[in-house]
Amino acid sequence: MSEKKLSFKEMCARFDVTPRTLRYYEYIELLQPEREGRSRFYSPRECARMTLILRGRKFGIKLEEIRQWLQIYENEGTEAQRQAFVEMADRQLVELEDQAKQLEVAIGELRSLREATLGKLN
């Protein structure tokens, strides 16, 4: 039985990405669709990779880090990839926590400025 492959258009729709995004992910070798003439087809493997790419982007992980992380699976297997993920997640958690602190400060400053301005209106 043949695996279900998605066309370029189906891939864009399934993952809610633009054609430009999908082409870019191919260009930087995050995805490697099968080609038949000018048509591209995405296997379940490519769909799984796209899920991981989008999950990484959601958490703010850089595309180059995602590319390297996906390559670990190809070269070293699942266990090495899991270990690399934990390290990548640890780094990203530190970054996100720092950003959260910066946002908290900015929100506080904006509230104070708003209140001071509102007080001058009365």
Contacts of 32 (CB under 8 A, 6+ apart): 26, 46
Beta-strand ranges (E) seen in the chain are 6-7, 34-36, 39-42
* Overall average pLDDT of the 8-37 stretch: 96
Q: What is the predicted pLDDT for the residue at 89?
A: 96
Q: What is the predicted pLDDT for the residue at 2?
A: 58
Q: How many helices (H) and strands (E) does the chain have?
A: 5, 3
Q: Give the CATH number for residue 75.
A: 1.10.1660.10
Q: Residue 3's pLDDT band (boundaries 50, 70, 90)?
A: confident
Burial code of 104-121, b = ≥16 C-beta within 10 A, e = fewer? eeeeeeeeeeeeeeeeee
- For residues 96 and 59, the answer to whether their CB atoms sit within 8 Å is yes
Average pLDDT of the chain is 94
The yes-or-no verdict on residue 84 having pLDDT over 60 is: yes
- For residues 84 and 69, the answer to whether their CB atoms sit within 8 Å is yes
* Overall average pLDDT of the 35-55 stretch: 95
Within a domain: 100: yes
Q: Residue 1's pLDDT band (boundaries 50, 70, 90)?
A: very low
Within a domain: 57: yes
Strand partners, 35: 40
* Overall average pLDDT of the 50-60 stretch: 96
Within a domain: 53: yes
Taking the C-alpha atoms of residue 73 and residue 68, their distance in angstroms, rounded to an integer, is: 9
User: In which domain, by residue range, is 94 found?
Assistant: 6-121
* Overall average pLDDT of the 4-13 stretch: 96
- For residues 95 and 56, the answer to whether their CB atoms sit within 8 Å is no
Q: For the chain, what is the domain count?
A: 1
Within a domain: 1: no
